[in-house]
Chain A
Amino acid sequence: DAGVTQSPTHLIKTRGQQVTLRCSPISGHKSVSWYQQVLGQGPQFIFQYYEKEERGRGNFPDRFSARQFPNYSSELNVNALLLGDSALYLCASSPVVRADTQYFGPGTRLTVL
């Protein structure tokens, strides 16, 4: 079975632009979470979705938004990019909203110039 897939792998944007990152969960998993990992730090929780509804949100500004589609895939959108948004963006999937069974994808590396 395929694991969590994310696209694109790498992305370079300039300040003020907007970006959309995509995630496909493991087959049968209904929950998707997004995390931001800045170099040298652990991942920080951004959003969690389950059955297309937002179930949790971390301490991130409103420039960050997400949605989940009927096929359980998800998109993360970031508007008005700042230099500090440069990070590895990780998607994790789990069968239900539980902490113990989250499986991460390879991430999308975003560089903001």
Chain B
Amino acid sequence: QKEVEQDPGPLSVPEGAIVSLNCTYSNSAFQYFMWYRQYSRKGPELLMYTYSSGNKEDGRFTAQVDKSSKYISLFIRDSQPSDSATYLCAMSAGGSQGNLIFGKGTKLSVKP
């Protein structure tokens, strides 16, 4: 079993839809949870960061962490064609361990 599981998709939605992206993990030591957006042939861009459990909202984006279920989510409201990209979840135990463990990424396409 991989430490972080993420459905690679692809996921195709119409413009304006609510998008739900999810990851599960097995390592209970993970404390830091990130979502990155990666456009084709570019480096990942940090979208959201959450420490431990709870929700965090930033504009059209909401990140949720449920440590009891080892499950994290990213919601995108009012999706736009410019949101079309690959979304990567990443996690870390933190402390002196600064390395990130990534999921495979979910490829999202928002159709006009």
Q: Which A residues lie at the B interface, using CB under 8 A?
A: 4, 31, 33, 35, 40-45, 48, 50, 55-56, 58, 90, 92, 94, 97-107, 109
Contact = CB atoms under 8 A, between A and B. Distances in A.
Contact of A55 (B32, B42, B43, B96): B96
7 contacts: A40-B8, A40-B104, A42-B104, A97-B96, A103-B46, A104-B46, A109-B41
A35 B105 CA distance: 15
B98 A33 contact: yes
Interface residues of B, number: 30
B98 A97 contact: yes
Given A40-B104, A107-B43, A100 B8 contact: no
Contacts of B71: none
Interface string B89-112: 011111011111111110000000
B61 interface: no
B102 A90 contact: no
Interface of B: 4, 6, 8, 32, 34, 36, 41-46, 49, 51, 88, 90-94, 96-105
Q: Name the residue in A40, A45, A102, A105 with the highest tally of chain B Cβ atoms < 10 Å from its Cβ.
A: A102
Nearest to B105: A42
B11 to A, nearest CB: 15
Contacts of B100: 33, 35, 43, 45, 92, 99, 102
B98 A44 contact: no
